Amino acid sequence: MIIFKKLRYKNFLSSGDNFTEINFLANNTNLIIGSNGAGKSTILDALTFVLFNKPFRKINKPQLVNTVNEKNCLVEIEFTANNREYLVRRGIKPNVFDIEVDGKLLDKRGDDRDNQITQEENILKVNYKSFTQIVILGSSTFVPFMQLTASNRRDVIEDLLDIRVFSTMSSLVKDKLRALREEIKVLELKKNSIKEKAEMQKKFIDDITKRGESNIEEKKESAKKLMFEQVSLGDEVAVKISELEELNKQLEEYTGATEKLKKLGSFKGKIQQKISTLTKNHKFFTENAICPTCTQDITDELKEAKLSELTEEGKDLRKGFAEIEDAIIEEESREKQFSLLSKQILDANKIVSTNNVQISGYTEQIRSIENDIESIRDRIDNQTEEKEKLTEFISKLRVLVDELSSKKIELDKHKFISDLLKDGGVKTNIIRKYIPLINKHVNRYLQMMEFYINFNLDEEFNETVVSPIHERFSYSSFSEGEKMRIDLALLFTWREVARVRNSVNTNLLIMDEVFDSSLDGFGTEEFLKIIRYVVKDANIFIISHKSELHERFDSVLRFEKERGFSKLVEK
């Protein structure tokens, strides 16, 4: 329960540079009177300004500063909450916002907006709208509960029943749901990206393997062709070697023909020379009878003997010459055959040599192909780096899938919690339990004010009204005086519910010009009985122009204007 003790303000609206102080605990019932503009309602604006940083009436904040002094506008309030003593100080020109707890200044965090949130949520545990429904009933800017929107009505009830925490929790859960959905969205994108990379990496490895295997097959086929060519060349070499053996054997038969031809040519030349000499001598002995050298006579016997000798020798030489020529012809034939065989052997050796060179080249190519195949096979079998990348992608994908699964489970849990915290969930069940109590108290207070209707609120806080005159009525169907009775009944009910729930339970109740507006004399009497005998543990302040009511209150506070400033005069 919040016990408001004292309110002080200066340079606030029409108040001067000296503090005006209101002691809330001095009396139970208090009447505040004064002429128009004397400052009676200033207490409402000061109270809501110091607590919620906004005046009760529609006044701009800069206009709250006294127009004469134009500075040092300050409002202070003392109250007890949760067994702790608080002093809140708020001012304009200069701007001030201090909260003291048990005499110590509360550390400020962030700006004044953060500290205001701390005050409303952690200290007062009530917002402006709910506070004005439970503590203040005004005639100017006050909006009665029945004239609030459905959402604002719900806000007030949630504050009363101390279930706004569920709304806060719902807001937090919604924020968490949004964050989870965003995280899941990001994780899905990451998962798809990693999955795509893993698939691309696997395809890359498969492509390398397929291309490698295809390349190996092509190289094996090339090696087979080369081996086939090797075999063909080897067979040809074998044939040529066999031919060479046969040719070499044949060549041996014709070896030496050239040397014999040289010798036979020499013999032939010598024989030709001898034949020429014999022919010359034969001619000499035939044509000469005297020796030209010694001038002796050549006898016929000598001549015949020489010619006969020369003739025989000539026969022998001619026969030998013919034999040499035959031998030369035979050797020339042998030499020709030798040359032919030599050429055939040379050609065969050339083919063997060429083939052996090609076979060596093919062998080198086959060895190179085999090395290439081995290298390709090693690359296929040992794609360590690429496989490590694939393993890393798969590992990351598993982590993401696990994290995504965990986030989705968490999302489902928060969805379930969110459904529970919606207006149709836990809060509705709690409100449903209190609706009969609320309706009971409202109708009890209406009967106390001699207003005999059956007024009921449903779970959506829509009213159903049954009166003796009209079976079905609504709030807007009643006169202003009747509406005022309903508003008062609701105000007293909210305070009763707050007291039961110990939520927004406070000692303070302020009503502005309730008697001056719509309550008739009979209603006024019943209302005075309620605030005196029914509303307990409350310090009630009634702002009114009717000074004749002062005998019905424990104290009367009069506001007067003195030299342009409002002044409090207690009677």
pLDDT of residue 19: 93
Per-residue pLDDT at 499 exceeds 80: no
Most confident of 52-56, 288-292, 531-535: 52-56
Phi, psi of 353 (to 5 degrees): -65, -45
How many Cβ atoms sit within 10 Å of the Cβ of residue 349? 14
pLDDT of residue 143: 67
Per-residue pLDDT at 518 exceeds 60: no
Per-residue pLDDT at 550 exceeds 90: no
Per-residue pLDDT at 66 exceeds 80: yes
Residue spans of alpha helices (H) in 449-479: none
pLDDT tens, position by position, 116-136: 888 888 888 888 887 887 788
Most confident of 6-10, 278-282, 352-356, 434-438: 6-10
Residue 148 lies in a domain: yes
> What proportion of the chain, given as a percentage, has pLDDT over 70?
92
How does residue 162 score in pLDDT terms, banded at 50, 70 and 90? low
Range of the domain at 10: 2-162+423-570
- 210 and 278 together in one domain: yes
- Of 113-127, 155-169, 260-274, 420-434, the range with the lowest mean pLDDT is 155-169
In this prediction the pTM is 0.53
Residue 155 lies in a domain: yes
Per-residue pLDDT at 547 exceeds 80: no
Residue 190 lies in a domain: no
- 134 and 258 together in one domain: no
CATH number reported for the structural domain that contains residue 440 in this entry = 3.40.50.300
- 229 and 359 together in one domain: yes
- 286 and 380 together in one domain: yes
Domain limit, last residue, from 367, 388, 409:
388
- 377 and 476 together in one domain: no
pLDDT tens, position by position, 237-261: 898 888 888 888 887 877 776 787 7
pLDDT tens, position by position, 260-302: 778 878 877 887 888 788 888 778 777 777 777 776 776 778 7
Retrieve residue 434's tokens.
């209190």
DSSP states of 352-409 as a string?
Answer: HHHHHHHHHHHHHHHHHHHHHHHHHHHHHHT-HHHHHHHHHHHHHHHHHHHHHHHHHH
Domain limit, last residue, from 363, 388, 413:
388
- 7 and 151 together in one domain: yes
Rounded distance, CA 571 to CA 565, Å?
Answer: 19
pLDDT tens, position by position, 187-207: 999 999 999 988 998 888 888
Mean pLDDT of the chain: 83
Residue 208 lies in a domain: yes
How does residue 91 score in pLDDT terms, banded at 50, 70 and 90? very high
CATH number reported for the structural domain that contains residue 219 in this entry = 1.10.287
pLDDT of residue 76: 97
How does residue 523 score in pLDDT terms, banded at 50, 70 and 90? low
Q: What are the distances in angstroms from CA 570 to CA 192, 541, 554? A: 78, 13, 12
- 206 and 332 together in one domain: yes
How many Cβ atoms sit within 10 Å of the Cβ of residue 489? 23
How many Cβ atoms sit within 10 Å of the Cβ of residue 450? 11
Per-residue pLDDT at 7 exceeds 70: yes
Residue 492 lies in a domain: yes
pLDDT of residue 184: 92
Retrieve residue 330's tokens.
């035979």
- 24 and 69 together in one domain: yes
Per-residue pLDDT at 423 exceeds 80: no
- Of 41-45, 114-118, 131-135, 373-377, the range with the lowest mean pLDDT is 131-135
Per-residue pLDDT at 514 exceeds 70: no
Per-residue pLDDT at 416 exceeds 60: yes
- 125 and 208 together in one domain: no
Domain limit, last residue, from 369, 388, 407:
388
- 22 and 97 together in one domain: yes
Residue 292 lies in a domain: yes
* Angle separating helix axes 480-501 and 426-448, nearest 10 degrees: 130
Per-residue pLDDT at 53 exceeds 90: yes
Number of domains in the chain: 2
**8 Å CB contact between 497 and 437:** yes
- 370 and 439 together in one domain: no
- 383 and 435 together in one domain: no
How does residue 338 score in pLDDT terms, banded at 50, 70 and 90? confident
Residue 414 lies in a domain: no
pLDDT of residue 35: 86
Retrieve residue 186's tokens.
């990001």
How does residue 504 score in pLDDT terms, banded at 50, 70 and 90? low
pLDDT of residue 512: 80
Report the Cα 554 to chain-centroid distance in Å.
69
pLDDT of residue 100: 94
pLDDT of residue 94: 93
Residue 170 lies in a domain: no
> What proportion of the chain, given as a percentage, has pLDDT over 90?
22
